[in-house]
A and B are shown apart, each in its own frame.
Chain A
Amino acid sequence: MFDLERWQEIFETLSKNKLRTFLTGLSVASGIFILVILLGFSEGIANGVKSQFEQDAANKISVWTGVTTKGYKGLNPGRYIQLKNSSFDAVENGYDDYLEYRTKDYMIWGGTVNYNNETGNYRVRGTMPDNQFIENADMGSGRFISQSDINESKKVAVIGNKIKTDLFKGEDPINENIQVFGMNFKVVGVFYDPGGDREEGQVYIPLTTAQKVFNAGENIRNMAFTVKMADDFDEAVAVSNAIALGVEQKIKEIHTVAPDDVSAVRVHNTLEQAQKFYSLIATIRAVFWFVGIGTIIAGIVGVGNIMLIIVKERTKEIGIRKALGALPMSIVGMILQESVFVTMFSGLFGLIFGLGLLELVGPLIESDFIKYPQVDFNIALSTVFLLVFAGALAGFVPAYRAAMIKPIDALRDE
């Protein structure tokens, strides 16, 4: 294998049979290339979908309300269902054992926020301390809303990183005052959110403060909870579904909404959604693997085919070599070493080319559903070796047969 003379002989043979070498190499390289791209994109889709769910906690249940579309118990349709602190309390009391984090929010969509001479329009959201974990917000500096902020209805604000960039121009916002609709709020924290700019363009203030300054009384806009996760994913989904259903029924009961009115009370269950997407991802992955394995099989068959043709084409040469004193095993070795070298080299070429393309094009893809397409290098490398091995195996049988026949029979071959 490491015989220099043998390698020289092989390089000469390969370089003098360029077309044959090129075609063998091309079929292997393109097979691996396609596989790498396929696997890369299936991974990219998986990453994209996953990142959609990382914006918020995966086990989140949120409750929103709207306008009734159905009459119920003598009440007319077209009624706006207003959630109250008491609606939240009812849910909290009912499911306390199952809930991990809980929040109720009151928000203003376009709030004018000033700092010195800088002005911007941001969502201003009264919330509870737990919301930090429900939103997956990360504190960049300072702290989130605390229970004492809530208790004392303090005029404090936690701003998103985008607002810090927009209004503070790199200054440290902590302990500075911003004006929300002209009212002073002290900045106590800056947060990052995996949801990006859209989420980071928010000002969080204590819920109780929001209800006071916006004259909302006991009103809240929505509430959200996370469910304690069971270790088993399917079990977690089942628990989460049961709670989501129970919460929906409870809210409908409190606010006298028809049980089948889907627009008045909407309960969104992230985990259930996630499960659907994960099974979708699994399907996509399976399909891509299927296509990929098909490609590899086609590659193996192709390499095997080429090996058959090569051996057939070289039968006479094999006869000549044997007449000159070649051992059968040196002939088998020569053919296999050639094929292994070509498939290995072109396989790695296809691999590197594919990985390079993913590396180059990956970051340019601006889609929510494809992110960081990438391939597990080991998997890709294993497929190269698989192809090389299969090619060698496919070449061995005809090479061995050709090497074992009498030289005179090989020489007679035209």
Chain B
Amino acid sequence: MIEIKDLHKSYHMGSNSLHVLKGINFNVKEGELVSIMGSSGSGKSTLLNILGMLDEADEGQYILDGVPIKNLNEKIAAKYRNEFLGFIFQSFNLINYKSALDNVSMPLYYKGVKRKERTEKAMHYLEKVGLAQWSHHLPSELSGGQKQRVAIARALASDPKVLLADEPTGALDTKTSYEVMELIQGINDEGKTILVVTHEDDIAHMTKRIVNLKDGLIIDDSPVEQIRASAHV
């Protein structure tokens, strides 16, 4: 599903430049649930943003579902973001003046789905994350865990090939974190490919494979025995 080869990324600030990713190689097959770990500043988010086409690599190859992601025009990039990728952010990134339902239907709007169908689908995903009765609430009226579940429903709405979550539990307490992970595990069980950035060991062990980053390089990449989040709830 995801193939990257020798990926490089530097940030330039004035005359300084910071080499963040120094040659990343890894592959993710369909249906995997991978966590990316590493200390702060190791380049986890940078990597995930490149995978999510929110940012671009300087060098290297990135192939998403057989399509090389390189120098795409905005139109195709938008289409891929919409149809291949679902994003879950640490800070939720919901649109604050839109209801939970409208937030979830947003990717469908950009996919060109008609209003009625959009609402039905969005409602379906809200049900899936257990928030059907909150559909008309604004993000400001929801708890952190609820907001993240809305964000997950939104990421799922356009039925993407890959879900990318950057510290999805970073702003949540332990109990809520496990609830969110339970949801993510459930989605993975249904066959979706998911990458989760985290720096919490317990969260990482709820995935099936842990990739460890250090100073812009992968230092370890090994499968783990998945711990079901439901065991903790």
Contact = CB atoms under 8 A, between A and B. Distances in A.
A323 B109 contact: no
B81 A324 contact: yes
Nearest to B110: A325
A324 B102 contact: no
A76 B111 CA distance: 104
Nearest to A8: B115
Given A324-B154, A326-B78, A13 B110 contact: no
Interface stretch (B48-56, B124-132, B170-178, B199-207): B48-56
**Which interface class (under 10, 10 to 19, 20 to 34, 35 or more) fits B?**
20 to 34
Interface stretch (B31-39, B92-100, B142-150, B225-233): B92-100
Nearest to B118: A5
A125 B152 CA distance: 97
Nearest to B91: A411
Contacts of B52: 323
A8 B55 CA distance: 31
A320 interface: yes
B106 A322 contact: no
A16 interface: yes
Nearest to A409: B55
Interface in A23-59: none
Contacts of A260: none
Given A320-B95, A408-B49, A411-B93, A325 B79 contact: yes
B93 A408 contact: no
Given A9-B109, A330-B110, A411-B93, A325 B56 contact: no
Contacts of A321: 95, 106, 110
Interface string B213-230: 000000000000000000
A322 B93 CA distance: 12
A327 B95 contact: no
Contacts of B95: 317, 320-321
Interface in B69-88: 74-75, 78-79, 81-83, 87
A331 B49 CA distance: 21
Interface string B98-142: 100010001101110011000000000000000000000000000
B74 A324 contact: no
Contacts of A16: 97-98
A77 interface: no
A276 interface: no
Interface string A328-364: 1010000000000000000000000000000000000
Contact of B158 (A5, A316, A325): A325
A316 B79 CA distance: 20
A12 B102 contact: yes
A5 to B, nearest CB: 6
B54 A408 contact: yes
Interface residues of A, number: 24
B87 A323 contact: yes
A327 B97 contact: no
Contacts of A328: 74, 78
Contact of A324 (B56, B75, B106): B106
Contacts of A406: 54-56
Contacts of A12: 98, 102
B93 A320 contact: yes
Nearest to A407: B54
A325 B54 contact: no
A367 interface: no
A148 interface: no
A17 B98 CA distance: 10
Nearest to B83: A325
Contact of B55 (A5, A324, A326, A408): A408
Contacts of A9: 109
A412 to B, nearest CB: 10
Nearest to B84: A325
A320 B54 CA distance: 10
Contacts of A411: 54, 89, 93
Contact of A325 (B82, B102, B115): B82
Interface string A284-327: 00000000000000000000000000000000110111111111
Nearest to B96: A317
Interface in B149-196: 154, 158
Contacts of A8: 115
B37 to A, nearest CB: 21
Interface in B44-70: 49, 52-56
A12 B101 CA distance: 13
A327 B98 contact: no
Contact of A5 (B81, B98, B109): B109
A324 B110 contact: yes
Nearest to B79: A325
A323 B54 contact: yes
B75 A327 contact: yes
Nearest to B55: A408
A317 B92 CA distance: 12
A325 B98 CA distance: 17
A12 B107 CA distance: 16
A199 B202 CA distance: 103
Contacts of B154: 324
7 contacts: A317-B95, A320-B93, A324-B81, A324-B154, A324-B158, A407-B81, A411-B54
